[in-house]
Amino acid sequence: MFGLFKHKNNKQLDDITMRVGSALHKQIKTAADEVGQINWKAVFKRMDDTVTAGYLFGYVQASFADFSLEEKEMDSCMRKVFDGIFPDEGYSFVMSKIEMLNNADDMGLNMKIEEVAIDFGMGIDLGEHDAKINSGGLDVASSLCLYLKTGKIKNAD
């Protein structure tokens, strides 16, 4: 009997995983399509930075907040979304930025690490904001697209 509820919950998680991944992929693809070949290098460099990693983390985490998932379940959802966007590399990309911040005490807090922490935090804030306004849709959230195209961070209202 309890398996029925678990199955329904897994279906909902799979549906949300697909919507979240599609919404994030759409922003990245739009940015790449709109900048033109001359600026692709800048877009791809921003895709590999801490603001982007923070955005992805914040967006995904906020998208699953209503489910009260255990850490292992949240980790699985994040892995599916991140690796769906950047096959076999997305999850390790985001987690490597978190690991770097977690090890900051071992490295000694310096200006570079502080800057990375601030950028990651800004990305999380933007991602959480966009996930809340997007509510599962694909067309509202645009902060990541704007950042990838211009390097500018839209203020969360």
The pLDDT tens digits for 62-83 are 999 888 889 999 999 999 999 9
Predicted local distance difference test score (pLDDT) of residue 7: 44
CA 150 and chain centroid, separation: 18
| Per-residue pLDDT, 105 | 59
| Buried-state track 32-60, b at ≥16 Cβ within 10 A, e below 16 | beebeeeeeeebeebbebbbbbbbbbbbb
Write down the pLDDT at residue 75.
93
Instruction: Count how many residues are written for the chain.
Output: 157
In this structure, how many other beta carbons lie within 10 angstroms of the beta carbon of residue 67?
A: 14
Residue 1 confidence class, pLDDT cut points 50, 70, 90: very low
How confident is the model at residue 5, as a pLDDT? 43
pLDDT at 136: 54
Pick the closest to residue 82 from 104, 56, 115, 62 (CA basis): 56
What is the residue type of 15? D
69 exposed, middle or buried (CB, 10 Å; 0-12, 13-18, 19+)? middle
pLDDT of residue 109: 56
Residue ranges of alpha helices (H) inside 86-140 are 90-102, 104-107, 111-134
